[in-house]
Amino acid sequence: MQNTNQVSAALREMAALLEFSKAPKFKVKAYRRAVEVVDTVADLAALVEHGRLEELQGIGATLSRQIEELWNTGSSQFLNRLRNEQPEGTSELIQLESMTPRRLRVLVDGLGVHSIAQLREACADERVRTLPGFGKKTEQRLLEACDRWQNRGPEVPLPTLLSKALERAALLEQELLRVSERVQLVGALRRGQETVRELAWVVLGETPEPLRQLAKLPQVLRVEVEHGRAYLSEALQLQLLPANAANWGNVVVLATGNEAHIAALRGLAAERRIAIQGWGSPASNAVLRAFATEQELYASLGLPFVPAELRRGLDESRLADFDQLVTEQDIRGMVHCHTTYSDGRSSIAEMADAAHALGMQYLTITDHSPSAHYAHGVSLDRLKQQWDEIAAVQEGSPIRILRGTESDILADGGLDYPDSVLEGFDVVIASIHARHRMDRAAMTARLVRAMSLPIFKIWGHGLGRILNHRDAIDCDVPAVLDALAGSRGAIELNSDPQRLDLPPEWIPAARERKIPFVISVDAHSTRGLAVLRYGTLMARRGGVLRAEVLNTELAERFAALVRPTQAG
């Protein structure tokens, strides 16, 4: 099969078919985790080749064999068997978004439908609502999902998540450096865009040789030497651009900025009668210039070096801020950590040790609140037990452990746990985990109420999006930000590669309102602490300064700033 995306698609189908066939939950979960692992591992080929798959967390002997078989043969006996065992039409039905395989099974058993067309008919005839657990609203949603599936265009593969693209890029860059003495990542990935369809580099010298080097790699699908291009999958292209030492700056800047940024630079150049070589036909009175470095090019236009994340348009009012933009090294505490008390996989002590090993001075334990049943929200008696455990771990730990919660924002905008309990936490994150589909007015009212509560809170993964899977919730974001600013709360920039939420396009609106930020990890295991980089990239894209991020502060100050009830 020799292609990671196909392996992960096959594992995803296995998980869906297992869930559909009512296999035990742990088994379904194991396959889902395998998808996650395969999607994020940098070099699956090497791991398969050296028989080292089992070193990955969550991959046991069975899964390791399945992945090896998929990689080596392109098919799986287990998957074929699963497909054959299910009722007719199952493989089609599980492609329907907005319905879990478990619920689809109820539909198949209850209505005898064997295709999406038949399911649509059942919805239209109002038969779905007669089944236990299915209401009018679900029926309507299902009908819409069937319509979307039937009207779908030719399949456009999903773009690649930033995290995965960066991991792949790091590996490929090593390969490029075997044959090119100098390379520079450019394009949307260098700008930190949340999802990308292309990895691009500028290389010193010509591109055919580096491309031939890449062609040797199993993760490269095909190479088009004449176009300077390769494909890692149909969804992910790779582009190489040649440059020499004298015009390096010209090529790199042109290939990094978005259209609006380049247009702004062109404008400044024209004012100064500079024509940048390779940027299109120069005006007759302009002097043609080549720049060896990006810095020289920017300096010639009277600009400081613009951080790559901000090369979308050009906000000249921000030029003085560039050296104050937050960096990953500024972060001193891991905020938003789950443990085995809710849906995390690591203990309090393990999380504290891992955060310390990463150079942190504190972490906040914020497990789910009781209404999050699916995530084993922490009930009041278990909360007492957790606080005792935190106290015990704290005694032997060099870093400060703050007692927190990720409290559900309920449908009416209230928070989970009574106020008296909330006030006892060191930190409260308030997030939406259910009922994402409320209409705009109701959702806005829900959030405005939650954000207006006088208790200090951090708005967790604000718009609830899951990249490539779930759109942002519909609400009046400025109104919610106004409410949060009024109650002096903070906003989380969630680093989970699938969330990256608050979306960076909303960050300037929060900054204007002087709302502070935390760059959080939302970690569900010690491994999950490694994501800080992605949230920091989003913060930088939004132009967030070090001084605007609460967890750049030392432990004492941070704890004082986020205490749920604050003096004054």
Binding site for Zn ion (CB under 5 A): 406, 431, 522
Main-chain phi, psi angles of 469, to 5 degrees: -125, -45
How many Å apart are CA 35 and CA 54, to the nearest integer? 14
The CA distance from 321 to 317, in Å, is 9
Provide the minimum distance between the beta carbon of 499 and Zn ion in the complex, in angstroms, as a whole number: 8
**Which C-beta is closer to Zn ion: that of 233 or that of 340?**
340
Residue 228 or 460: the one with the smaller Cβ distance to Zn ion is 460
User: Closer to Zn ion at the Cβ: 186 or 432?
Assistant: 432
Pairing of strands 183-186, 198-204: antiparallel
Least distance in angstroms from the C-beta of 494 to Zn ion: 8
CB hemisphere CA count around 525 (13 angstroms): 5
- CA distance linking residue 103 with residue 99, whole number of Å: 6
Asked if residue 339 lies in contact with residue 367, where contact means CB atoms within 8 angstroms, the answer is: yes
Give the residue from 288, 290, 283 showing the smallest Cα distance to 253: 290
C-beta separation of 282 from 288 below 8 A: yes
Rounded to a whole number of angstroms, the minimum distance from the CB of residue 192 to Zn ion is: 22
Residue 69 CB, shortest distance to Zn ion, in Å, is 35
Of 138 and 340, CB closest to Zn ion: 340
Q: How far apart are CA 235 and CA 168, in angstroms?
A: 13
Q: Report residue 493 as tokens.
A: 């920039």
Indicate the residue among 76 and 431 with the shorter CB distance to Zn ion.
431
**CA–CA distance, 132 with 175 (Å, rounded to integer):** 56
Cβ at position 307, least distance to Zn ion in Å = 29
Which residues on adjacent β-strands are paired with residue 202?
184, 241
For Zn ion, give the closer residue by CB, 294 or 522: 522
CB of 460 to Zn ion, least distance (A): 5
**CB closer to Zn ion, 163 vs 207:** 163
Cβ-contact 413, 446 below 8 angstroms: yes
> DSSP letter at 231?
E
Minimum distance, C-beta of residue 376 to Zn ion, in the bound complex (Å) = 12
User: How is residue 92 written in tokens?
Assistant: 């089609």
Say how many C-beta atoms besides its own lie within 10 A of residue 36's C-beta: 14
Let me know the angle formed at the C-alpha of 337 by 326 and 449, rounded to the nearest 5 degrees.
80
Question: How far apart are the C-alpha atoms of 185 and 190, rounded to whole Å?
Answer: 6
Token output for 76 = 């799986």
Q: Measured from the CB atom, is 308 or 334 closer to Zn ion?
A: 334
Calpha distance 495→543 (Å, rounded): 16
CB of 342 to Zn ion, least distance (A): 8
Output 189 or 378, the one with its CB closest to Zn ion: 378
Of 310 and 415, nearer to Zn ion (C-beta) is 415
The rounded distance, in Å, linking the Cα atoms of 296 and 183 is 18
CB of residue 349 to Zn ion, shortest distance in Å: 19
Min. distance of Cβ 522 from Zn ion in angstroms?
A: 4
Q: For 487-554, where are the alpha helices, taking DSSP H only?
A: 507-512, 532-541
